[in-house]
């Protein structure tokens, strides 16, 4: 157990870390619990290895409910601290990509990644990674990047000295990417890892509370409004989709994170195979953000790729459309009809 890398790869990772002085760790746009948990856990570990300069860089804003994570305060945001992020990449002699498999997932930050001269190590669990990497630790069968990080730290002999702070970050990432261990989480290894994290003194119930019981009143009302008034349920297709406009967001004083995971809620309907969320971007006009979730034998990833310029995991995918909401709804209906055969089946 906990032996993901081949012996030669482990040696290569060790060597790369030991040779590096200025390390950058980055994650995808709109970083989630796994992106933030895994990057911070990896930073804690690298600092313990004596690395003085380890900078964690995100493309943009992070949800409020993750900002308590140990080490978060020192992270950099490209949209706000552009110069510092560029400097970090310029000075880097080793870069880690965590929780994404292609530089385009960092959007506005992509050119900084693509022009960086330092060797890159990929640590990720998304399908079909692309790019030139010194080492590619890509494990699509694992539930989260944070789970991979645990394995790597263990393999590098870092478990005994793992701090509570590092264990909290790993737990948070594993917990959020599996919806509190309710999907994608039947592999026994996951629970062996949780047991080892608990031995580091983490309070898992408290972490759950801090992350999932953290809505503002406005956020709870916004979420209820969407389900009550905006959800379209197509019974014969076992599918649902909802549309969130800027005016919905303004009415309920939306801030980033308020709608996190709402796309999972229609899946509470017995037998639902597909849930789609379409949301207008708050800043860019004609940009529709799309989230897809699937269950009961249907897999939404191909639909995300074909119809929504995206991708992701088999049952949790996303994408975006550059058009009006009316056009986005038409695309969604087309997508549903294209998969009608599979969706209709009982
Ligand atoms: P979410 O619905 O939580 O935003 O995203 C679900 C999954 O789809 C995540 O694993 C995320 O990485 C992936 N995803 C979201 N947006 C995109 C996208 O634009 N392109 C690709 N390739 N994957 C995406
Ligand atoms: Mn992830």
Q: Over the stretch 275-308, which tens digit does the pLDDT of each residue have?
A: 999 999 998 999 999 999 999 999 999 999 999 9
List the chain domain ranges.
7-212, 217-344
Contact between residue 111 and residue 104 where contact means Cβ atoms under 8 Å apart: no
Give the model's pLDDT for residue 2.
Answer: 80
Give the model's pLDDT for residue 136.
Answer: 97
- The arrangement of strands across the sheet holding 94-98 comes to 76-77, 53-58, 22-26, 94-98, 120-124, 135-138
Low-confidence ranges of the chain (pLDDT < 50): none
Contact between residue 264 and residue 184 where contact means Cβ atoms under 8 Å apart: no
Token pair 């930073």 is found at: 43
Instruction: Point out the ligand nearest to the CA of residue 105.
Output: 1
Those residues whose beta carbon sits under 5 angstroms from the ion ligand 2 are 34, 99, 144-145, 177
Give the model's pLDDT for residue 92.
Answer: 98
Q: Dump pLDDT digits (tens) for 108-140.
A: 999 999 999 999 999 999 999 999 999 999 999
Determine the atom of ligand 1 nearest the C-alpha atom of 101. 22
User: According to CATH, what is the number of the domain 7-212?
Assistant: 3.90.1640.10
Give the model's pLDDT for residue 256.
Answer: 87
Eight-state DSSP code of residue 120: E
Give the model's pLDDT for residue 62.
Answer: 95
- CB distance 257 to ligand 1 below 6 Å: no
Ligand 1 center to 317 CA (angstroms): 5
User: According to CATH, what is the number of the domain 217-344?
Assistant: 3.10.310.30
- CB distance 318 to ligand 1 below 6 Å: yes
Determine the atom of ligand 1 nearest the C-alpha atom of 293. 2
DSSP string spanning 275-291? EEEEEE-SSSTT-EEEE
Mutation pick for ligand 1 pocket among 311, 321, 328 (CB with most ligand atoms within 8 Å)? 311
Ligand 1 center to 179 CA (angstroms): 15
Complex confidence, ipTM: 0.96
Mutation pick for ligand 1 pocket among 318, 319, 328 (CB with most ligand atoms within 8 Å)? 318
pTM over 0.90: yes
């Amino acid at each position: 157990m906990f032996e993901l890398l081949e012996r030669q790869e482990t040696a290569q990772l060790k060597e790369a870390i030991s040779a590096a002085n200025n390390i950058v760790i980055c994650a995808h746009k709109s970083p989630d619990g796994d992106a933030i948990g895994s990057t911070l856990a990896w930073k804690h570990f690298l600092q313990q290895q004596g690395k003085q300069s380890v900078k964690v860089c995100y493309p943009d804003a992070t949800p409020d409910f993750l900002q308590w994570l140990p080490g978060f305060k020192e992270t950099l945001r490209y949209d706000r601290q552009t110069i510092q992020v560029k400097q970090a990449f310029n000075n880097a002699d080793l870069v880690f990509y965590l929780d994404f498999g292609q530089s385009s997932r960092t959007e506005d930050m992509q050119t900084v990644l693509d022009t960086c001269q330092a060797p890159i190590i990929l640590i990720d669990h998304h399908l079909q990674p692309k790019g030139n990497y010194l080492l590619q630790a890509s494990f699509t069968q694992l539930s989260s990047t944070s789970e991979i990080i645990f394995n790597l730290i263990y393999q590098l002999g870092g478990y005994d000295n793992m701090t509570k702070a590092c264990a909290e970050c790993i737990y948070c990432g594993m917990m959020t990417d599996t919806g509190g261990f309710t999907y994608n989480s039947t592999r026994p290894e996951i629970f062996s890892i949780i047991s080892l994290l608990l031995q580091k003194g983490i309070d898992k119930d408290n972490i759950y509370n801090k992350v999932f019981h953290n809505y503002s009143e406005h956020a709870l009302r916004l979420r209820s409004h969407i389900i009550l008034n905006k959800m379209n349920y197509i019974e014969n297709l076992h599918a649902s989709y909802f549309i969130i406009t800027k005016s919905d967001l303004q009415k309920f004083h939306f801030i980033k994170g308020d709608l996190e995971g709402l796309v999972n809620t229609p899946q509470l309907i017995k037998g639902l195979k597909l849930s789609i969320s379409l949301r207008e971007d708050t800043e860019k006009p004609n940009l529709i953000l799309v989230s897809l979730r699937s269950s009961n034998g249907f897999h939404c990833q191909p639909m995300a790729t074909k119809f929504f310029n995206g991708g992701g995991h088999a049952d949790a995918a996303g994408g975006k459309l550059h058009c009006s909401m009316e056009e986005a709804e038409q695309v969604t209906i087309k997508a549903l009809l294209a998969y009608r055969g599979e969706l209709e089946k009982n």
